[in-house]
Structure 1
Amino acid sequence: MWCEKKINSKGTSYAYRERFTDKRTGKKHSLVVTLNSNSRHAQKMAATMLMEKFNELIATKAEKWNELTETLTMEAVCREWIDATSIMVKDETNHNHEQYCRRILSGLENGLLFRDFSPVMAERIVQTMYYKEKLSFSYCSSTLTTIKAVMRYAKKSGYVDNIYDFETIKLKRRPATPAELERINNKFLNKQELKECLEQLHGINQRIALAMEFISLTGLRCGEMTALRWQDVHLDKKRLNVNGTIVKSCCNGDEVQRGTPKNIYSYRDVDLNKRAVAILMWFKADNKRLELWSRKGNCISRSYTDRGYIFTTRTGAPYNIQFINRQLRKIFVPGKKISTHIFRHTHISMLAEMNVPLKAIMQRVGHNDPNTTLQIYTHVTETMKTETRIKLEQLSI
């Protein structure tokens, strides 16, 4: 406790101050009482008054807390956390937070009070997802990370005192089944499969077929490819600059569809080969054709508007990734699940076959963690197996 002397028109007074810590929440409270004396008796009286004032404050807070816990639901805390973090993250990340929270709440009783949410419940949610439903390790880990983030927010808000048991929850990776290992190794196409896939896709949608071929030649993410504008391409240098991505949660016609790339390492320049340049030139010519036909009221593209994007629909809007994937599901390649990402993986795989250094591949595709790249092409392709067998024959002692 410390004392401050104050002199005003009413005379001399003494302000006694003390700082207390709420053991339940860890928050500090600075309290003050004013007396007309600074004698020892006044000091003892001030200390007593300050303690009584603090106890009243704690009692009031405890009463309000008890009232709150009678009605505060887990769903309400999740919503508070989403709202609190939304201003600090990208729209796509905020959308993911909402998805994870929905998944968490789906594993709980409707209207569950926050005070009744336990570490056992949290653990059961992610273990059910991973061990019973066989969902991916990364998805289940992200769900667990979300639970911990919500609980940290709750602690800062004073809704809970201790979250240690939540922080110690870990998800142990289960042994991969043969089917899962096969799926991991089938996240790329060999040259024959790629050719067959693109041939089928040409019969469904030529523009999407060329766009997917472009990804297999550049290693771009689908969102990065659809966000490309002519100002991002330098045909004379045979190079493009990646500086944006299409936000999945946006719809065609929204004022803002283009957002920042996945992370700072995604900003990069990507060199183009002749075929990639040819694809760009095809889109340049075909988009111009659609624009001219639109001006003439042609029924094929009467709604075309040039928005500056390269890989577009017949209306000039950038392709929606979900729409592309729906078209890709019509493709059949034995043992392969065809999605936009398989073409990116195929590009990485082809670079690995060509013995391109890992660091160069990482820079080209916008990876920072080498393990991310290694996970994609740790499989050994048939070409690499053949080369290994030839080299083994040359071994001698």
Structure 2
Amino acid sequence: MWVEKNKSGNYRFIERYKDPLTGKSKRVIVTYPTKNKFTTKKAQMELEAKIQERLRHIQDGNIKKGVTLHQVINEWEPIYKARVKGTTWQTYIVAKKHIKKYIGYNVQVSKITPKFLIHAYETMLYRDGYNNPTVKMVAFKMTSILRFAYRRDYIATQPPKELDINWKKSKHNDLDKKFLETQELERVLDYVYQKNEQQGAIFEWQYLTGMRIGEVLGLKVGDIFKDNGKYYAHVNGTLVYTGLKTSQYYKQSTPKTDDSFRDVFLPEKAVELYHRWSEGKDSNRFLFFIDDHFFAFTNLNCRLRQARKILDIDKPLTTHIFRHTHVSKLAELGVPLYIIQNRVGHADSETTRNIYLHVTQAAKSKWDDTIFSL
């Protein structure tokens, strides 16, 4: 490193390095207003960091050593954010906190092994009690980051598609807890309606249509239409928000998956809700908003946690349980699985399929008892 004084009186600290692609020497420079022991040491550290940063981005086929997971994440995030939907990004923000805690930002990405990841994920599962879906979500995001690291020559091999994780085994009654029985549904809706009519209507609409909560909140009055005497909801987006003000939420034009674009037939009770909540609103207003005032998604699940405690219901009450309850009711009515999948906008959902098979098997067992008594 050497120092030059420029015309303005500042000091340019300069270091030279060799570009492995061209074999030629290149320079990096930092400037400080003074030259002393402190600035000299600081400049030396900055110059070294600049050189390492440049060398790390030269794709010469060699694995770049010393690159931390945090550095990879900082490079990967802008690319990932630009190509995913807002809701997917928010899911990643949750996963990122777990990645920082259980894997660590300062770990060198080239040192991350399958065994290391398995240990981290099983720690989440068995020491800290996270469920399979949460850990799978974290593992999925982590795999995306490691694939990026492989493309940038930060790791030598592609991350494995699957890890030999000792997943929690599903208990026999786990599926029963994913949906509400008729009496439970009535109790929950009655409780919520008494506390907040708007929230009660939103949950009932979810149960009647099987729509995701973001799809329900993103419904505009003009999305409901009538065709041959029947009413339909045209699902064409989901609500995204960053705050409670009108300017801080918007309808994202692309739903979760391509299957999410659909027209959902509305039963009579849903039509009644539509007429109740569309009254006095023009076609571009959100159906379930009051004076265009929004509330945080978390308020809905907070209300359901209250209901769970007050009503002593031993099931995880979240907005998604109404969607699962819709699936279970249609299965009870004998509606074919493919019709249900099209209706809820999930052509390939393991949960939807499992609930359907669980409910239909229970119905079959009930009729077996009847037939046995002949």
- Shorter chain as denominator, the TM-score bin is 0.7 to 0.9
**Alpha-carbon distance change, 73 to 377 in structure 1, aligned in 2, over 3 angstroms:** same
Amino acid at match of 1:323: N
Q: Which whole-Å deviations, capped at 9, do the CAs of 1:353-389 have from their partners, x for residues lacking one?
A: 1111111111111111153421223333876654342
CA distance in 2, matches of 1:67, 1:143: 25
Contact 1:226–1:318 at 8 Å: present in 2 too? Answer: no
Matches of 1:213 and 1:205 in 2, distance apart? Answer: 12
> 1:220 maps to what in 2?
211
The alignment status of 1:266 with 2:260, answered yes or no, reads yes
What is aligned with 2:359?
380
Structure 1 portions without partners, runs of 5+: 1-28, 32-59, 292-304
1:153-188 C-alpha deviation (Å, 9 max, x unpaired): 112112222345x55633243333x5xx43431221
Distance 1:125 1:365, change over 3 A: same
Return 205-214 or 183-192, whichever deviates more: 183-192
CA positional deviation for 1:307: 5.9
Structure 1 distance, partners of 2:102, 2:180, is 37
Paired with 1:337 and 1:348, the residues of 2 have a C-alpha distance of 17
Choose the corresponding residue for 1:113, options 108, 114, 117.
108
Please list the CA deviations of residues 18-48 of structure 1 after superposition, one character each: whole Å capped at 9, or x if unmatched.
xxxxxxxxxxx799xxxxxxxxxxxxxxxxx
- Quick one: which amino acid aligns to residue 245 of structure 1? T
- For 1:49, the equivalent position in structure 2 comes to none
Match of 2:120 in 1: 125
Match of 2:189 in 1: 198
Counterpart of 1:346 in structure 2 is 325
Deviations 1:252-286 (A, max 9, x none): 4335521121100011111112211111111123x
2:286 pairs with 1:309: yes
Structure 2 vs 1, CA of residues 280 and 67 (structure 1 numbering), >3 Å: closer, same or farther?
closer
Shift of 1:232: 0.6
Residue type of the alignment partner of 1:219? G
Give the CA deviation at 1:337. 2.6
Deviation at 1:103, TM superposition (A): 1.0
Residues 183-215 of structure 1: CA deviation (Å, up to 9, x unaligned): 431221122221111111121101211221121
Look up the match of 1:278.
272
The whole-number CA distance in structure 1 between the counterparts of 2:55 and 2:288 is 58
2:230 counterpart SS class = coil
Query: Are 2:304 and 1:328 equivalent residues in the alignment?
Result: yes
Q: Decide whether the 8 Å contact of 1:311 with 1:318 is kept in 2.
A: no
Letter of the aligned partner of 1:269 in structure 2? D
Cα 1:248–1:342, aligned 2, differ >3 Å: closer, same or farther? farther
User: In the alignment, which of 320, 344, 347 is matched to residue 365 of structure 1?
Assistant: 344
Give the whole-Å Cα distance in 2 for the aligned partners of 1:157 and 1:92: 27
* Distance in 2 separating the partners of 1:371 and 1:156: 31
Q: TM-score, normalised by structure 2?
A: 0.74
Residue number in structure 2 paired with 1:169: 163
8 Å contact from structure 1 (residues 230, 309) kept in 2: yes
The TM-score, its normalising length taken from structure 1, stands at: 0.70
Partners of 2:208 and 2:270 within 8 A in 1: yes
For the structure 1 residues 191 and 149, does the alpha-carbon distance in structure 2 shift closer, same or farther, using more than 3 Å as the test? Answer: same
Within the alignment, does 1:254 sit opposite 2:230 as a pair? no
Q: Distance in 2 between matches of 1:268 and 1:359?
A: 14
| In 1, Cα distance between equivalents of 2:136 and 2:63 | 34
Aligned equivalent of 1:73, options 65, 68, 75: 68
1: distance between equivalents of 2:347 and 2:243?
27
**CA separation of 1:162/1:343 partners in 2, compared to 1, >3 Å: closer, same or farther?**
closer
Match of 2:137 in 1: 142
May I ask how many residue pairs the two structures share in their alignment? 315
Distance 2:214 2:162 in 1: 36
CA–CA separation in structure 2 for the residues paired with 1:140 and 1:337: 17
CA contact (8 A) 1:82 1:98 kept: no
Deviations 1:327-370 (A, max 9, x none): 12221243233221111111111111111111111111111115
Letter of the 1:82 partner, please give it: E
Aligned letter for 1:92? T
Same amino acid, percent of matched pairs: 26
Matched, 1:389 2:369: yes
Q: Is the 8 A contact 2:236 2:260 kept in 1?
A: yes
Task: Pick the aligned partner of 2:224 from 233, 258, 266.
Answer: 233
Mapped contact 1:227–1:245 kept (Cα < 8 A): yes
Uncovered stretches (5+) of structure 2, i.e. residues with no partner: 1-20, 24-53
